[in-house]
Amino acid sequence: MGATRVVVVEDEALARERIVTLVCATPELALVGEAAHGLQALDVIAATSPDLVFLDVEMPELDGFGVVAALLADRDSDLDDAAMPGIVFITAYEEYALRAFEVDAIDYLHKPVTPERFAAAVRRAVGRLSRDAASSTRVAQGVAQAAAALARETARHRTRFVVRRGSTHTFVAASDVVWIDAVDNYLRLHAHGRVHLVRGTMKDAERELDPAAFLRIHRSAIVNVARIAAVEALPDGGYVVRLADGARLRTSRQYAAGVRALVRVVGSRDS
């Protein structure tokens, strides 16, 4: 086995420089990329296919758990057939260190990182990756579960999605999504005249999105209430919802009551 290919992800410049210096001074490791925030990390990892990522947990916009969840989603959706890299978390807070162990992460480094502790993490990571190719996938699955749990604990409603086109990752604001439909275990986000594919189910989307802003009208369709252009009543008691992008979606009987209630509310406001 050759040198372990490494990407370092840390939003604090001095902390990132310290980890990079330690990586470069370790013969078993080869630095292939650096990133200063979560979205950049996804792009760098997609471009370099590292074996191991030293990943900061506390980053603005997209934290370390979110990065790993997005990496797993990329691979599950066949956007990337590269192996899932091993993860060593970097954190300044003990509660995240405990979470790292709970999800079977290879290791964690507590800031400030000492050379001795870094060397111990490298030995553990290299040994684990070399003897068990499946370990990184188990880590990824555990972290994805932790990310979902963390999101439920710390956020009221989802405000954006991480989407990938080619090797570039971007955010799509939930408010920009006109409607969502489902294909197998994936969600199709219709926004800005494009369709973005993300891993998830309609049940996930319905639970995570603000119910005051999004309405489920069918088993496989959720609409942004602010993007409804018109609602047409049908003789059978159902509705056709016309959206701002021109899409026309028919409600199912199960969800027609929600549309009926929305029409009543809007009508009372306009009268």
Cα separation, 256 vs 271, whole angstroms: 22
- For residue 12, the tally of other CB atoms under 10 A from its CB is 15
Q: Find where tokens 């078993």 sit.
A: 28
Of residues 1 and 253, the one with the higher pLDDT is 253
3-state secondary structure of 53: strand
Of residues 200 and 20, the one with the higher pLDDT is 20
Model confidence pLDDT, tens digit, residues 181-193? 998 888 999 999 9
Confidence band (pLDDT; 50, 70, 90) for 79?
low
Structural domains of the chain in order of their starting residue, each with its CATH number: 4-154 (3.40.50.2300), 160-270 (2.40.50.1020)
Of residues 35 and 138, the one with the higher pLDDT is 35
pLDDT of residue 86: 87
pLDDT of residue 186: 87
The count of C-alpha atoms lying within 13 angstroms of the C-alpha of 206, restricted to the half-sphere facing its C-beta, is 14
